Amino acid sequence: MGSKIKTMEIKMNLIGEELTKIVGPENFSADNSLLEKYSRDYSLSPSGRPNYVVWPRNAEEISRILELANKYQIPVIPVSSRAHFYGATIPKQGGIIIDLSRHMNRILEVDELNRRVRIEAGVTWKQLVEELRKRGFRVIMPLLPHPERSVVTDFLEREVPTNTVYDYGEPLQGMEVVWPTGEIFRTGSASVPGYPDSPSRGANPTGPGIDFYRFLQGAQGTMGIVTWANLKIEYLPKIDKVLFAPVTDLSYIIEFLYRILRLRIGQECLLLNNINLAIILSGSMNLDFEKLRSSLPPWTLVLVLSGLQRRPEEKIQYEEEALRNIVKNEFHEVQLSENLPGVLGAGKKLLKLLREPWPKETYWKHLYKGGCASVFFITKPVLAPKFISKTQEVAAKHGYLPEEIGMYIQPIEHNRACHLEFNFFYDPNDLDNVEKVRGLRRALYPILLNEGAFFTRPYGELAKLVYERAGSYASVLRRLKNIFDPNNIMNPGNLCF
């Protein structure tokens, strides 16, 4: 036994040495307090410590690290952000944290002509949005991303955008990945020889031969390490008009959305319940949360109309006219207004919020109680009320007041589907509170699954439950992963791996 431990120690030291050789001593650490930081995040996932942290400078270094990891059969955990919510970067079996956020955070190209940007994985929302804004551009965004999160990671993880009008959806184009075996590979049209010194700009995400990039999506860092990606960017609209509608009958407003979003009206369009909207607005505008939360209607529809690069007023005009006609003839009870009662300048403020990452130090989801456990999935909008009442029922049974649940409905692509999210707030220092929420979520998952919730991004313990039910999907996933990661070193313990 003693010799086994000794062998282990020697091996670990050897690994440490070799890692240091690859990245340089200033980019290597085995310091406990630092390892501690990587062992937990904002989620309820149990902690897990890595053995090392490295900060590589380029893909070649990552490649050599992975070769090493395969040699020693030691896991690696890619990290590109500085804030984590779902436990995906917490090591489950020890290993090496490969943190790209320190060095691999450059905006490599901004190609205005082709409305494309190429960024390294470590580029944050704050970085990117600022740079694009300077040039009059934006990228379609999920709701209030954390400023220190990796843009590439969030898109790989399929965070749902607040913009419903683009048929082509996701912004991801050609990227570079280091496969778990250590091979550096470019996907899509970035795969041409010599890229980026080529007529190909990496604007096509598909191929070569097979859609590799699909395997990287939703992978929680288990299929490879993306070092840079091309993304589609859009022009910032010239004019925006933010409209609000108070909602008491959720089904009614959902029908309204089925009607208007099909007509390709609007840019950003979302539904927030009073708690979430109150948190967001009070947190960013220094308003009184309690007052706001009780004065806001149960739900609020936010609809942004925009005029684009040419004749912008005319675009808003025809969209407004269409909206007016529909409200007048079909949905009399919808009251669209540029004002949000109780909040002066809400429109302007919210527009800024929708086009930028969260501006404050404390993330909005943590403002209320300090901690937040989320449950989200994709469903058909018409089913949202059913899921909501089910969730409220389960919450109540677990001692969580239904009126304390934060809720968010994000219509997707003309309202063909929606992202439905429940936020359960808790005080992370109150262990009972934490347990209650943990228990609630655990009870909720199978119930929602039974009702038809489609969990496309199963984090933490949800993964096991979902993959058990999707047995054949899990088994094919494992077979596929085995091709790219025969030694199962790439972030094992996530998903079904």
Site for other proteins in 39-78 (CB under 8 A): none
Residues 320-349 that bind other proteins (CB under 8 A): 321-322
Residues 373-392 that bind other proteins (CB under 8 A): 378, 380, 382
Is 27 or 189 the residue whose CB approaches other proteins more closely? 189
The least distance separating other proteins from the CB of residue 194, rounded to whole angstroms, comes to 5
Q: Are 214 and 226 in contact (CB under 8 A)?
A: no
Applying CB under 8 A, does 317 fall inside the site for other proteins?
A: yes
Among residues 81, 124, 222, 227, which is the contact residue for other proteins, using CB under 8 A? 222
Applying CB under 8 A, does 191 fall inside the site for other proteins?
A: yes
**Range in contact with other proteins (rule: CB under 8 A) among 37-45, 198-206, 345-353, 385-393:** 198-206
Among residues 223, 353, 367, 372, which is the contact residue for other proteins, using CB under 8 A? 223
| Angstrom distance (rounded) from CA 319 to CA 180 | 49
Applying CB under 8 A, does 2 fall inside the site for other proteins?
A: no
Binding flags for other proteins, 247-266, as an x/- string (CB under 8 A) = -----------x---xxxx-
The least distance separating other proteins from the CB of residue 456, rounded to whole angstroms, comes to 4
The least distance separating other proteins from the CB of residue 20, rounded to whole angstroms, comes to 29
The least distance separating other proteins from the CB of residue 219, rounded to whole angstroms, comes to 5
Applying CB under 8 A, does 238 fall inside the site for other proteins?
A: no
Is 322 or 443 the residue whose CB approaches other proteins more closely? 322
Among residues 104, 119, 128, 219, which is the contact residue for other proteins, using CB under 8 A? 219
Residues 424-483 that bind other proteins (CB under 8 A): 449, 452, 454-458, 463, 466-467, 469-470, 472-474, 476-477, 479-483
Among residues 311, 348, 397, 464, which is the contact residue for other proteins, using CB under 8 A? 311
| Interface with other proteins: number of residues (CB under 8 A) | 96
Applying CB under 8 A, does 212 fall inside the site for other proteins?
A: yes
Among residues 2, 4, 194, 361, which is the contact residue for other proteins, using CB under 8 A? 194
Applying CB under 8 A, does 309 fall inside the site for other proteins?
A: yes
Nearest CA to 36 among 121, 97, 100?
Answer: 97
Residues 168-187 that bind other proteins (CB under 8 A): 168-170, 173, 183, 185-186
**Range in contact with other proteins (rule: CB under 8 A) among 66-74, 92-100, 349-357, 413-421:** 413-421
Binding flags for other proteins, 127-166, as an x/- string (CB under 8 A) = -------------------------------x-------x
3-state secondary structure the chain: CHHHHHHHHHHHHHHHHHHHHHHCHHHEECCHHHHHHHCCCCCCCCCCCCCEEECCCCHHHHHHHHHHHHHHCCCEEEECCCCCCCCCCCCCCCCEEEECCCCCCCEEEEECCCCEEEEECCCEHHHHHHHHHHCCEECCCECCCCCCCEHHHHHHCCCCECECCCCCCCCEEEEEEECCCCCEEECHHHHCCCCCCCCCCCCCCCCCCCCHHHHHCCCCCCCCEEEEEEEECEECCCEEEEEEEEECCHHHHHHHHHHHHCCCCCCEEEEEEHHHHHHHHHHHHCCCHHHHHHHCCCEEEEEEEEECCCCHHHHHHHHHHHHHHHHHHCCCCCCCECCECCECCHHHHHHHHHCCCCCCCCCHHHHCCCEEEEEEEEECHHHHHHHHHHHHHHHHHCCCCHHHCEEEEEEECCCCEEEEEEEEEECCCCHHHHHHHHHHHHHHHHHHHHHCCECCCCCCCHHHHHHHHCHHHHHHHHHHHHHHCCCCCECCCCCCC
The least distance separating other proteins from the CB of residue 343, rounded to whole angstroms, comes to 29
Among residues 216, 280, 384, 420, which is the contact residue for other proteins, using CB under 8 A? 216
Q: Are 235 and 136 in contact (CB under 8 A)?
A: yes
Residues 69-128 that bind other proteins (CB under 8 A): 113-116
The least distance separating other proteins from the CB of residue 78, rounded to whole angstroms, comes to 14
